């Protein structure tokens, strides 16, 4: 069953990609979609078998390579972390496949598109099921390749080609750090197998690795290099610039990249390698800082974007920041919980945006929308559900809320308690999380009001022909909406609550909240030594760590105690969410037209945010221009003047010119040759005579 889950999408990609012209688009679409749905169904069975029945397995398939002490195998590692990712990746991907039947109905290259989608899914499944770093790196690079193909799918469009290249090159920067991290792992541990590395990690805490004149603490170096890779894949601050431009691909691609595959790979990597990060407090602090900056930075940009897909793209970037600063504070289970819930409501929002674009005949600029809820009633309702989930609407202490309420609030409360316990930047992460929640609420409701309410601002003929999406596109949205509503409440106890000890098994350490409030349960792990040594920043034992209160309906009496934040902390995210909604309503409903006047007036702050903190301009000035000049130097001076000048245009050219002139002597006439021979004889005779006379 796990083999079918992983390799089924690959079979579909091969059939659709190589034989699509022969079997036709419909057959290619049917095969790829059918295999994805099969993988999704089997993933549910594997989830219950592994996460609920605790039947963890390691399925070795083949030895990839063996060189001296280096050995890499292709295996399928089945633990709860893998099972969760199987469900996330296959469920969203299968729904994206179904949705694409309607969205790409008029595209002439559908078989190629579906082949790329399935290849993307196979690469991600290979990544999350890896048992060593090399297989993980294979899947890591596979999703990078597939993202390049999908973002640039409409290759005749220059902006799509530019965006694909930008994504590919930016990820190469992060992947270079990741590759160095894998090399450092093997150099330090002598293996790339996860279990062997994690078991040896506690003994390596004081190990110093010397490289040339520099010395590094071994685990800090490894964790930092691995995080560089995670920054690139998950579009964290400094390496985030590719993510918004990825919107140039078809909308189903945006949903797949942003919700379930590529951008979640970095979070998965940090959580998979939690024993290393737990023993690298300085790197974990870096993870916290970068995550908090990303959450705030992306949210500030999202409030002024006008492209409906770009708003949601920056929302993804911001939510990934939440996941990373949670992981940096040792809240790995909360980070995975938010990754899980985020997949449903973010895919819902992206596919909902695609439904809007489809209904308005490829219009993406929200300034040309407004008043469309009557023409697109189903899309409007489903996107409101996604917005409620993204903004984390819920009532603290009552145990009621949408999916994002449970996962996002757990991160914010956990950051507060970590800060109270002295975790570096814990309190800063808490305040950043609250302010980002306010901005998230504002730009999310801005999107709803700007798109569906108020007066229509586009061309009248577009609105006259506007229509809701066909059932093949709406059904996936409805299924995702179910997850956006219920996934948080249904899985909270398993991911971060009383059942998390048994749920995660050996794949992930239960977080501070679960340990403090339900620590009387026995939890044994081969990496217990790791948790025992990480007293400063995350996975402490119950007696040494304060955990957030259960803000979602469970009182202290339910679990016999635990550490609780003040009541205002529980309500801070709720107040931030409500405030953001009110401000958006005042700007876009009560005083409609005010934001347009503010934007028209400009100003340094609006220009700064609208131009994305001028990162693209700064990178062009610092990196791109210098690289172009260096390329021109190598091309015009090194290649053309030196290599070509001395080579083909120099010595080789001179020899060719001489040969060309000498070849003219070969006229083909016998009397010419006889005349030349006569001249030669005369010259030879004169030379002999001159020589004899000299004697």
pLDDT tens digits along 466-482: 888 899 999 999 999 99
> What local confidence, expressed as pLDDT, does residue 638 receive?
79
What integer is the mean pLDDT of 114-136? 94
C-alpha distances out from residue 114 to 14, 132, 184, 263, Å: 10, 29, 37, 20
Listing DSSP states for 617-652 in one string gives HHHIIIIIHHHHHHHHIIIIIIIIIIIHHHIIIIIH
> What local confidence, expressed as pLDDT, does residue 391 receive?
94
Q: Is the pLDDT of residue 520 over 80?
A: no
> What local confidence, expressed as pLDDT, does residue 561 receive?
43
Distance CA 401, CA 395 (A): 6
> What local confidence, expressed as pLDDT, does residue 533 receive?
53
Q: Is the pLDDT of residue 664 over 80?
A: no
pLDDT digits (tens, 9 = 90+) for 6-30: 999 999 999 999 998 899 999 999 9
Q: Model-level pTM?
A: 0.87
Residue 588 DSSP one-character state = I
> What local confidence, expressed as pLDDT, does residue 557 receive?
36
pLDDT digits (tens, 9 = 90+) for 244-267: 888 888 889 888 887 777 889 999
Sequence-distant (6+) residues with CB within 8 A of 103 are 250, 251, 252, 354, 358, 473
What integer is the mean pLDDT of 366-385? 92
Look at residues 294, 339, 338 and name the one whose alpha carbon lies nearest to residue 318.
294
Backbone angles phi, psi at 411, to 5 degrees: -65, -45
Burial group, residue 622, by CB count within 10 angstroms (0-12, 13-18, 19+): exposed
Q: Is the pLDDT of residue 149 over 50?
A: yes
For the ranges 27-41, 240-254, 329-343, 642-656, the lowest mean pLDDT is seen at: 642-656
> Which helix (H) or strand (E) is 461 found in, with range?
helix 460-464
Of residues 381 and 620, more confidently modeled = 381
Look at residues 22, 55, 26 and name the one whose alpha carbon lies nearest to residue 507.
55
Kindly indicate the confidence band of residue 527, based on its pLDDT and cuts at 50, 70 and 90: low
What integer is the mean pLDDT of 532-557? 43
What integer is the mean pLDDT of 50-57? 87
Sequence-distant (6+) residues with CB within 8 A of 567 are none
SS (H, E, C) 384-437: HHHHHHHCCCEECCCCEECHHHHHHHHHHHHHHHHHHCCCCCHHHHHHHHHHHH
- Give the percent of the chain with pLDDT over 90: 55
Kindly indicate the confidence band of residue 563, based on its pLDDT and cuts at 50, 70 and 90: low
Q: Is the pLDDT of residue 648 over 70?
A: yes
For the ranges 9-13, 146-150, 588-592, the lowest mean pLDDT is seen at: 588-592
Rama region for 371: left / alpha / beta (φ>0; ψ in -120 to 50; rest): left
Give me the residue spans of the domains in the chain: 280-610, 614-664, 670-695
For the ranges 20-29, 221-230, 515-524, the lowest mean pLDDT is seen at: 515-524
């Amino acid at each position: 069953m796990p083999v079918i889950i992983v390799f089924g999408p690959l079979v579909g990609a091969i059939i659709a990609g190589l034989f699509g012209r022969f079997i036709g688009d419909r057959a290619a679409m049917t095969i790829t979609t059918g295999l994805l749905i099969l993988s999704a169904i089997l993933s549910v069975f594997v989830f219950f078998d592994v996460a609920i029945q605790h039947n963890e397995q390691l399925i070795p398939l083949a030895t990839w390579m063996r060189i001296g002490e280096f050995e890499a195998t292709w295996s399928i590692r089945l633990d709860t972390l893998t099972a969760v990712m199987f469900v996330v990746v296959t469920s969203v991907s299968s729904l994206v496949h179904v949705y694409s039947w309607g969205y790409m109905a008029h595209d002439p290259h559908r078989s190629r598109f579906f082949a790329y989608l399935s290849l993307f899914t196979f690469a991600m499944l290979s990544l999350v099921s890896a048992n060593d770093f090399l297989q993980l790196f294979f899947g890591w690079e596979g999703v990078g390749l597939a993202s390049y193909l999908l973002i640039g799918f409409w290759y005749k469009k220059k902006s799509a080609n530019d965006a694909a290249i930008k994504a590919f090159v930016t990820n190469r920067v992060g992947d270079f750090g990741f590759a160095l991290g894998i090399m450092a792992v093997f150099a330090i541990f002598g293996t790339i197998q996860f279990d062997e590395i994690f078991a040896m990690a506690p003994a390596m805490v004081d190990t110093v690795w010397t490289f040339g004149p520099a010395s590094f603490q071994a685990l800090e170096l490894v964790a930092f290099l691995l995080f560089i890779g995670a920054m690139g894949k998950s579009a964290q601050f400094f390496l985030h610039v590719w993510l918004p431009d990825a919107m140039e691909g078809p909308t189903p691609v945006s949903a797949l990249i942003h919700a379930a595959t590529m951008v979640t790979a970095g979070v998965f990597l940090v959580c998979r390698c939690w024993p290393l990060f737990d023993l690298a407090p300085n790197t974990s602090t870096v993870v916290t800082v970068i995550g908090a900056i990303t959450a705030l930075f992306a949210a500030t940009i999202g409030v002024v974007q006008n492209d409906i897909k770009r708003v949601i793209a920056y929302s993804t970037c911001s939510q990934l920041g939440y996941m990373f600063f949670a992981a940096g504070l040792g809240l790995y289970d909360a980070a995975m919980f938010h990754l899980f819930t985020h997949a449903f409501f973010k895919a819902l929002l992206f596919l909902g945006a695609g439904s809007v674009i489809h209904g308005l005949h490829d219009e993406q600029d929200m300034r040309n929308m407004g008043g469309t809820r009557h023409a697109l009633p189903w899309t409007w309702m489903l996107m409101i559900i996604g917005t409620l989930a993204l903004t984390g609407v819920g009532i603290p202490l009552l145990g009621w809320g949408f999916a994002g309420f449970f996962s996002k609030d757990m991160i914010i409360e956990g950051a507060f308690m970590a800060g109270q316990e002295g975790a570096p930047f814990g309190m800063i992460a808490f305040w950043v999380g609250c302010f980002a929640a306010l901005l998230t609420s504002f730009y999310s409701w801005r999107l709803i009001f700007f798109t569906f309410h108020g007066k229509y601002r586009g061309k009248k003929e577009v609105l006259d022909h506007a229509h809701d999406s066909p059932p093949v596109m709406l059904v996936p949205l409805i299924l995702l909406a179910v997850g956006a509503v219920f996934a948080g409440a249904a899985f909270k106890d398993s991911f971060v609550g009383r059942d998390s000890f048994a749920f995660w098994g050996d794949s992930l350490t239960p977080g501070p909240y679960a340990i403090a409030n339900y620590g009387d349960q026995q939890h044994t792990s081969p990496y217990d030594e790791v948790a025992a040594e990480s007293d400063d920043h995350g996975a402490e034992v119950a007696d040494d760590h304060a955990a957030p209160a259960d803000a979602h309906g469970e009182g202290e009496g339910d679990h016999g105690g635990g550490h609780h934040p003040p009541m205002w902390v529980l309500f801070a995210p709720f107040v931030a969410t409500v405030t953001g909604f009110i401000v958006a309503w005042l700007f876009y409903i009560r005083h409609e037209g005010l934001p347009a006047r503010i934007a028209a007036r400009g100003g340094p702050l609006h220009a700064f945010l609208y131009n994305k903190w001028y990162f693209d301009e700064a990178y062009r000035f610092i990196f791109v221009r210098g690289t172009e000049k260096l390329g021109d130097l190598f091309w015009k001076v090194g290649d053309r003047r030196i290599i070509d000048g001395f080579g083909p245009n120099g010595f080789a050219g001179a020899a060719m010119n001489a040969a060309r002139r000498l070849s003219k002597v070969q006229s083909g006439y016998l009397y010419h040759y006889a005349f030349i021979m006569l001249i030669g004889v005369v010259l030879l005779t004169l030379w002999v005579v001159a020589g004899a006379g000299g004697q």
